Structure 1
Amino acid sequence: MKFINRIPEPWLVFLSLFGAVLGWGWAWVGIREAMHYYGPGQLALGRYMVASLTLLPFWIGRGARLPEWRHWPLLIVMGLSGFTLYNFCVNLGEKTVTAGTASLLGSFLPILTTLGAWFFFREKLTFRGWSGIIIAFVGVAATSLGAQGNFQLSHGALLVLLAVFFAAIYGLLIKRMILRYRALDVTTWAIVAGTIGLIPFGSGLVQTAAHAPWNTTVNLILLGIFPGAICYALYSFALTRVNMARVASSIFFMPVTSIILGWFLLGELPSGIAFIGGVITLWGAYLVNTSKLLK
Structure 2
Amino acid sequence: MTQLDAVKKTDWLALGAVAITVVSWASAFVAIRGVGTSFGAGQLALGRLLIGTLALGLILLVQRKWVKPNRTQWLQILSVGVFWFAIYNVALNAAEQRVDAGTTSMLIQIGPILVAIFAGLLLGEGFPRWLVIGAAIAFSGAVLVGVVTAVTTTDTTKTDADFLGIALCLVSAATYAIGVLSQKPVLRTIPGLQVTWIACAIGALCTLPFAPALVDDLGTASMQATGGLIYLGLVPTALAFSTWAYALTRMNAGRLGITTYAIPPLTILMGWLLLGEIPHILAVLGGVICLVGVGLSRRR
Question: Which bracket does the TM-score occupy, shorter chain normalised?
Answer: 0.7 to 0.9
Contact 1:20 1:235 in 2 (8 A): yes
Distance 1:116 1:236, change over 3 A: farther
Contact 2:39 2:217 in 1 (8 A): yes
Indicate yes or no: 2:162 matched with 1:161.
no
The structure 2 residue matched to 1:201, chosen from 197, 205, 210, is: 210
Counterpart of 1:78 in structure 2 is 80
The TM-score normalised by the length of structure 1 is 0.78
Structure 2: which amino acid aligns with 1:229?
Answer: A
Counterpart of 1:171 in structure 2 is 180
Q: State percent identity of aligned pairs.
A: 31
Structure 2: which amino acid aligns with 1:96?
Answer: R
Counterpart of 1:113 in structure 2 is 115
Distance 1:141 1:162, change over 3 A: closer
Root-mean-square deviation (CA, aligned residues, Å) is 3.8
Contact 1:43 1:220 in 2 (8 A): yes
Q: What is the rounded CA distance, in whole Å, between the counterparts of 1:58 and 1:46 in structure 2?
A: 19
Q: What is the rounded CA distance, in whole Å, between the counterparts of 1:72 and 1:282 in structure 2?
A: 33
Contact 1:135 1:283 in 2 (8 A): yes
Distance 1:246 1:153, change over 3 A: farther
SS in 2 for 1:210: helix
Q: What is the rounded CA distance, in whole Å, between the counterparts of 1:279 and 1:157 in structure 2?
A: 16
The structure 2 residue matched to 1:90, chosen from 92, 95, 99, is: 92
Contact 2:47 2:233 in 1 (8 A): yes
Indicate yes or no: 2:103 matched with 1:101.
yes
Counterpart of 2:64 in structure 1 is 63
Contact 2:113 2:297 in 1 (8 A): no
Q: What is the rounded CA distance, in whole Å, between the counterparts of 2:9 and 2:92 in structure 1?
A: 36
Q: What is the rounded CA distance, in whole Å, between the counterparts of 1:192 and 1:106 in structure 2?
A: 23
Could you tell which deviates more after superposition, 239-248 or 214-223? 239-248
Counterpart of 1:211 in structure 2 is 220
Contact 2:81 2:203 in 1 (8 A): yes
Q: What is the rounded CA distance, in whole Å, between the counterparts of 2:17 and 2:118 in structure 1?
A: 23
**1:249 Cα offset (Å):** 3.3
Counterpart of 2:158 in structure 1 is none
SS in 1 for 2:68: coil
Q: What is the rounded CA distance, in whole Å, between the counterparts of 1:211 and 1:93 in structure 2?
A: 22
**1:35 Cα offset (Å):** 1.1
Counterpart of 1:16 in structure 2 is 17
**1:136 Cα offset (Å):** 8.7
The TM-score normalised by the length of structure 2 is 0.77
**1:149 Cα offset (Å):** 9.3
Contact 1:50 1:221 in 2 (8 A): yes
Counterpart of 2:234 in structure 1 is 225
Counterpart of 2:192 in structure 1 is 183
What are the superposed Cα offsets for residues 242-290 of structure 1, whole Å, 9 maximum, x if unpaired? 555544333322211111111221234678878989999999999999x
**1:6 Cα offset (Å):** 6.2
Structure 1 stretches of 5 or more lacking a match? none
Indicate yes or no: 2:44 matched with 1:43.
yes
Contact 1:143 1:255 in 2 (8 A): no
**1:28 Cα offset (Å):** 1.2
Q: What is the rounded CA distance, in whole Å, between the counterparts of 1:61 and 1:191 in structure 2?
A: 18
SS in 2 for 1:203: helix
What are the superposed Cα offsets for residues 87-144 of structure 1, whole Å, 9 maximum, x if unpaired? 01111222222223322221211222344566749599996x9999999999999999
Distance 1:98 1:14, change over 3 A: same
Q: How many residues are matched?
A: 287
Contact 1:27 1:223 in 2 (8 A): yes
